[in-house]
């Protein structure tokens, strides 16, 4: 019934495969082996981060508390999403100069 992943995946310029892995680790602590049914994905479409999460409030809370809050905090080390945001725009500008679509 849920085709979100199939609809969104072709739109991604880059996938973040590690997001799904970490989401399952975090989710396992909450719901145990039921996490294998979750199809969380993440990636970048143009210069926008895209996260597809299971629809339950608990899953969204797990993703925010266990992953995203840290990655959107510029103080998180050794790296975080905030650090790569400027490079996303540069990547698009280079593609435009070459006359190619990303």
Strand partners, 51: 42
Q: Where are the domains of the chain?
A: 4-98
pLDDT of the residue at 67: 97
User: Each residue's pLDDT tens digit in the chain (102 positions)?
Assistant: 789 999 999 999 989 999 999 999 999 999 999 999 999 999 999 888 999 999 899 999 999 999 999 999 999 999 898 888 877 766 666 666 777 665
Strand partners, 52: 41
| Nearest by Cα to 4 from 52, 43, 61, 50 | 52
CATH architecture of 4-98: 3-Layer(aba) Sandwich (3.40)
């Amino acid at each position: 019934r849920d085709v979100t992943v199939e609809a969104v995946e072709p739109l991604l310029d880059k996938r973040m495969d590690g997001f799904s892995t970490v989401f399952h680790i975090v989710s396992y602590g909450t719901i145990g082996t039921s996490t294998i049914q979750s199809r969380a994905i993440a990636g970048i479409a143009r210069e926008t981060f895209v996260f597809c999460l299971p629809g339950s409030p608990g899953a969204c809370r797990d993703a925010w508390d266990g992953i995203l809050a840290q990655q959107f905090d510029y103080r998180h080390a050794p790296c975080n999403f905030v650090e790569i945001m400027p490079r996303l725009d540069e990547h698009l500008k280079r593609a435009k100069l070459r006359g190619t679509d990303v």
